[in-house]
Structure formats: C-alpha cells, structure tokens
Amino acid sequence: MEPEVLSVRALNRALLERQRLLRRVPPGGPAGDAAPAGPGATGPVTETIEYLVGMQAQAPFPPYFGLLARLEGFQADDLARLLLSRDVVRIALMRGTIHLVSARDCLTLRPLVQPVLDRALSATFGRPLAGADLPAVAAAGRALTREQPRTFAELGGLLAQTWPGHPPAALAQAVRALVPLVQVPPRAVWGRAGQARHAPAETWLGRPLDASASLGALVRRYLAAFGPATVLDVQAWSGLTRLREVIEPIRPSLRTFRDREGRELFDLPGAPRPDPGTPAPARLIPEYDNLILAHGDRTRVMSEENRKRLFSLLNVFPGTVLVDGFVRGMWRLSRSRDEAALTVELFGDRVPVRDRDEIAAEATRVLAFAAPQAGSRDVRFAPVGLTGLRARVDRHDGLGRVHQERQ
C-alpha cells in the first residue's frame, strides 16, 4: 500500500500534541496522578524534560518559560530545586549545544553524541590544537574540574601552563568536547546569578556514564516527541550523521508516511496524530526552543518567509509566538525594579481580535511568572517588518482594551 500523505497541518498538530502545546500537563502529571514526593521522585517537570529528550538551554532561563508553556501551575522553584538537588543538569549534547536533561538522560545521552562533539572540536579548534596530546589534555582537564568546578577561562589558563604553545580557550574547548562536563549551580537557578562553572558529570552525579545506550532507542524517543519525521530531521536535531543506517534495522517496528513533497516520514505506530482541524491555542515559545529547531524542514511550524525573518537576526534567536499552531511573531521581555513589559511583534497582517486576546492572556501569564513583584505589568503589540522597525505599538491594559500608541 502507498504510505498515507500527511499535510503540513497534520504534521503541525502531531508536533504540538507531542510537545504538550495543545493542552498543558496538569499538576498531577500526564496521567493526572498525584505527584510523587521524596528523594529521587519523578514529578511532571522531570517527566516532561525526559519526554522532550531534553530542552535546549544555552541561555540559562529559556527552559523555565518552555516549561511554563507546557505545564499547568509551573513555578520557577519547581525547576530550580531540581537543579540544586542534581536531579536535572545542563550539559553539551545534541548539536553540541547546552541542553537541560534529567540526571539519567545525562548519563545515557552523552556517550551517544560524542561524534558530534568530536567533529565540532576538529572543525573549530583542529588547527590551534595541532600537536597537542588531546587524551592528556582531557585527563588533565578532568582532574582539574574534579578538584572543583571551574570556568573555561580558569580551566584554559591552568592547562596552558602545561601546554603553553596552544591557546587557553582551545584547550578548554578540548576538555568540553572530550569530557562530559555539566554546568553547576547557581548557574541557571532562578533568582540567582553565577558564572558557568563545570564539573565532570560522573563526579557531580556520583554515577558512571551508561555505555549501553543505543542510537535506535534515541531515534524512537525523538519520534515520540517530534515525529513524524524524516531521517534528515533526526539528523538536524541530534547533529549525528548516517542515521539511515540506524533507522533501517528498526523500520519494521515503525510506521511510514509521506509529506506533500514526497519525503518519507517515520513514526511510532501508536503515537498521537490529531485531526488537522484540532484547535491550537496561542502559545509563547522561549528562545532556542527545540520546537523551532528540531527539524531540517521547519514548515510544519513556520512559513519559509517567517523562518527568514527569525534567522535574519544576527546572534539573536527570539522567543516566538504561535497562532493557530504556527509562528506568527516574536516576543521579548523587559524588566526594571518596579515595571515589566512583554512586547509581541507580529509578522505581516494583523491577527484577528480573538487570537490577539489569546496572545494577551498568554503574555499576562508569562509576566505574572517572570515579574510577580512588579507594580506595573504591560503587554504590548507591535507589528514588525523584515527591518524590525515598529510602526505602532498597541498597549494591552489587561482589561480587554487595546490602546494604540505611536512610536
């Protein structure tokens, strides 16, 4: 039989359902059970992080907003507490970028993505590190970070005393690639500040890496959270290559589809694929969220025109606004001691009033989370073109009224 052809909207609704963006997870977890308590307990936050196969986290705080978009009743301390208890950690994983993962996934996933880190190290620092004994550099870096968590500047300076002919930054990056280093608190703990200091994962967690993990299992987890997807999609998310060699042996256990371009899509047989007409509520997605970055073909969540708008901003990847399941704008948060404002910059034509009200309600929720003590909290709408110049700001006063202001 010819595989079923899935429309863009069908792929969109499947992705939103699996990303928990069609409905938020209740406080009791996906099954609605009472959240477990006590040491080592796995509640909705850890379960969601594991279900999503980690959350991209090269900036410290976007995962808090990603969880806020997906979990009902989420509070910043729900994640901060897990970082402090070492139940979740931040470590370089997929695509060589920092991800927030559970302790268990840290030990399982890190060996699988070693080829990604090796390739990046060779491509970026191969010449500065030429002639260096990299296993010896890694061993020295492991010992130094086991003594105490260190910044890369500190680590590179110490290593340069033994390898003076190589740049300190390159030596530190060699350790980052070759040794599984976690960023330790207070980095990324809500309400606290701290430099990125690093310790070996095995030392921090008190357990060895899991050498038994398989790429086939990783692919299946990706499909559960992001499918249906092509081989190239899995590779774009993970940074790994030659994954068709991994998928072919497990093909009999998967279901296949085609997209409108004829590309073969793989999926788990029992994974949810909602009706394309399923309503999708407005959502504010944080910077760097894997919803936006986890596919080679991103048309399932944004038009090509809007993709160019997002990626035209040099060295900046903004938060995005979902309307009817697709990216229709960007958002940014600004705070001072007594005031907080969330500005929504919409692409193209004005969205309908009903959608705007949904966006405003989401923005109000984000502001209440991010700035609970602020005396003034404003939601503002600003249509924006490719140049990023605002023509008008609509100030939403939280009472269902919108006031237009010239800028």
Per-residue pLDDT of 85-127, as tens digits, reads 999 999 999 999 999 999 999 999 999 999 999 999 999 999 9
pLDDT at 382: 83
Residue 247 is assigned to a structural domain of this protein: no
Residue 54 is assigned to a structural domain of this protein: no
Residue 115 is assigned to a structural domain of this protein: no
pLDDT at 131: 95
Q: 218-235: per-residue pLDDT in tens?
A: 999 999 999 999 999 999
pLDDT at 390: 35
User: Containing domain of residue 357, as a range?
Assistant: 302-405
How many folded domains does the chain comprise? 1
pLDDT at 400: 34
Residue 370 is assigned to a structural domain of this protein: yes
Which string of DSSP letters, residue by residue, matches 88-138?
EEEEE-GGG-EEEEEHHHHHHHHHHTHHHHHHHHHHHHTTTTTT--HHHHH
- What is the C-alpha separation between 225 and 291, in angstroms, rounded? 10
Cis (ω within 30 of 0) for the bond into 274? no
Q: Which stretches in the chain have pLDDT values below 50?
A: 32-41, 385-407
pLDDT at 403: 36
Residue 94 is assigned to a structural domain of this protein: no
Residue 3 makes CB contacts below 8 A (sequence gap 6+) with: 256, 257, 258, 264, 265
Q: What percent of the chain has pLDDT over 70?
A: 89
> What is residue 41's three-state secondary structure?
coil
Q: 25-68: per-residue pLDDT in tens?
A: 998 777 544 333 333 446 899 999 999 999 999 999 999 999 99
Percentage helix, strand, coil for the chain under 3-state DSSP, each rounded to 5: 40, 20, 40
pLDDT at 40: 44
pLDDT at 256: 98
Residue 143 is assigned to a structural domain of this protein: no
End-to-end CA distance of the chain: 59
pLDDT at 67: 98
pLDDT at 15: 98
Residue 282 is assigned to a structural domain of this protein: no
Residue 133 is assigned to a structural domain of this protein: no
